[in-house]
Structure 1
């Protein structure tokens, strides 16, 4: 362990030299979840959480970070951190990675929608088997698309829906409000809104309110042939309820996240009819690293300068 006890430390999951442009003042250490800590956790003032590591790994130094002032995630969701906030001193600001994942997640969302509607998985299997699956397939054009979870990712998804000539985009969030694009409906309105949707996109954070949101009653309200797309978190969907609907052939699903995750070998979701699964890669693209570095550089600069931080979602 390197001795950084003389100065407050900034823990970064990317080597500081690779980020570049970090302000002078703090001591910078690199930690990406290794067994050994790079410095005394008690000296940490700013902790950037390692990306895509299990919560039990990323939370390990938190009880010892008695001087912590900022926790910065590199994910849009913070559900892997919030259960451990009670271990921190008061006044610690939790910040998410708004601005890092929107483009990549929205890209994958459109890819999953188009692949599912246009039959791409069937064509791939047909190519392997040298089978020609001609016929008519659903289009995205003239369809009603619902986005549940209208934050920055939901808005980025709507940006990319614009050229596809959808009949209507319905926006749903925790509470109702108006935007220049049109109204955002409250979650409480879902029972009335769901039956009209051809494509339902889940891009909401995982909270106590949204856990199991897409359960049996939610899914039963979807029209026959509807497509459910989950780019949020796996537990937003009740897996058993979804399996029942998929096995009936009534709806389809495209999932970048699952519950459990990673999806274990032998799980019935792998081979359920009408489901397309990608392995939680919504934000894992070439766009991630430069955007993550830019976020960390700017947040640390703000912290050192005593300026307001961006993306604060909670304060202990």
Structure 2
């Protein structure tokens, strides 16, 4: 007898994780446009308000009790043991910015919470800002624009100033971090000699990156511009101190888009006040600087308010990456940009 056809199996329902946003209202408004929220809603089941910027309230705990995944951002409170106790279903965190140090605690790793970061997306504008400052700094744009405004003389550009220009200038990259590597890539089309110091990158790998590996002192002594991209670790706190700053060429430029505490700011103030070097600082310690801090009045210094990272329409890139991470995780494919307890040691 012919076998009866098997009954069709019931279609499987895709897993739609319960997701809540944990960040400041300002961060949520910046990153999650209505379009981004709609895209997130296509792959998950968003928890009802409130937005979680305080995880200790009764409302927050009611939301936490139901969530499988948190989408975090700037202003997210620490996810400590008490928070995790209120979130028994929480299995993953997708962060819409770079560093997760401020909110991912040991309790998260002990729970086995999976963590993702949008650092790869945020690295792109930081690298672009850095390259722009290197090229503008090489031509002394800020100083010459100031002089032009004061004198109204167009012949400023004809002055023979030593060290001005980007042709065959030397740029030193401190650390082959994600951002440092992107900066090196973006600098390739220019007639620049690019040096790298990174204790974890040997001469062969540096050559593959199109740069020359040098010692730390040599980097500062030979470069017309030094760009700092090292993460802030115990070993790198105050790394750029008096000795390295003293090695820099007169008129050289120091660019820092990493962390303010990587620099010895007292030593930096001394060399800036002496007019020996120039600086572009997108990060400081503390950040922001207090009103009366001497760095504000140092000549040859540009301080920007953390502009290098994502701004304006660049926030869309963060949202798109995060939605993609949530989609992958819900499908069981894991995060494409995971952060682990081991890798966090080396991240900014």
- TM-score after normalising by structure 1: 0.82
Of 21, 29, 35 in structure 2, the residue corresponding to residue 18 of structure 1 is 35
- Tell me the equivalent position of 2:290: 264
Give the Cα–Cα distance (whole angstroms) in 1 for the partners of residues 300 and 217 of structure 2.
24
- Structure 2: tracts of 5 or more residues without a match: 1-15, 22-27, 343-348
Give the Cα–Cα distance (whole angstroms) in 2 for the partners of residues 136 and 264 of structure 1.
38
Give the Cα–Cα distance (whole angstroms) in 1 for the partners of residues 187 and 47 of structure 2.
41
- Tell me the equivalent position of 1:58: 77
- 1:10 touches 1:47 (CA, 8 Å); kept in 2? yes
- 1:8 touches 1:43 (CA, 8 Å); kept in 2? no
- Tell me the equivalent position of 1:86: 106
Q: Check 1:182–1:158 CA distance in 2 against 1; reply closer, same or farther (3 A cut).
A: closer
Give the Cα–Cα distance (whole angstroms) in 1 for the partners of residues 171 and 44 of structure 2.
49
Q: Check 1:43–1:32 CA distance in 2 against 1; reply closer, same or farther (3 A cut).
A: closer
| Matching of residue 75 in structure 1 with residue 103 in structure 2 | no
- Tell me the equivalent position of 1:195: 221
- Tell me the equivalent position of 1:3: none
Give the Cα–Cα distance (whole angstroms) in 2 for the partners of residues 48 and 216 of structure 1.
42
Report the aligned-residue RMSD.
2.9
- 1:42 touches 1:65 (CA, 8 Å); kept in 2? no
- Tell me the equivalent position of 1:48: 71
Q: For this pair of structures, how many residues does the alignment match?
A: 301
Q: Check 1:217–1:182 CA distance in 2 against 1; reply closer, same or farther (3 A cut).
A: same
- Tell me the equivalent position of 1:4: none
Alignment of 1:224-239 (within 5 A): 224-239=250-265
Report how far residue 16 of structure 1 moved.
8.2
- Structure 1: tracts of 5 or more residues without a match: 1-6
Q: Secondary structure at the match of 1:99?
A: helix
- TM-score after normalising by structure 2: 0.75
Report how far residue 130 of structure 1 moved.
4.9
Give the Cα–Cα distance (whole angstroms) in 2 for the partners of residues 298 and 41 of structure 1.
22
Q: Check 1:9–1:315 CA distance in 2 against 1; reply closer, same or farther (3 A cut).
A: farther
Of 80, 98, 102 in structure 1, the residue corresponding to residue 119 of structure 2 is 98
- 1:211 touches 1:235 (CA, 8 Å); kept in 2? yes
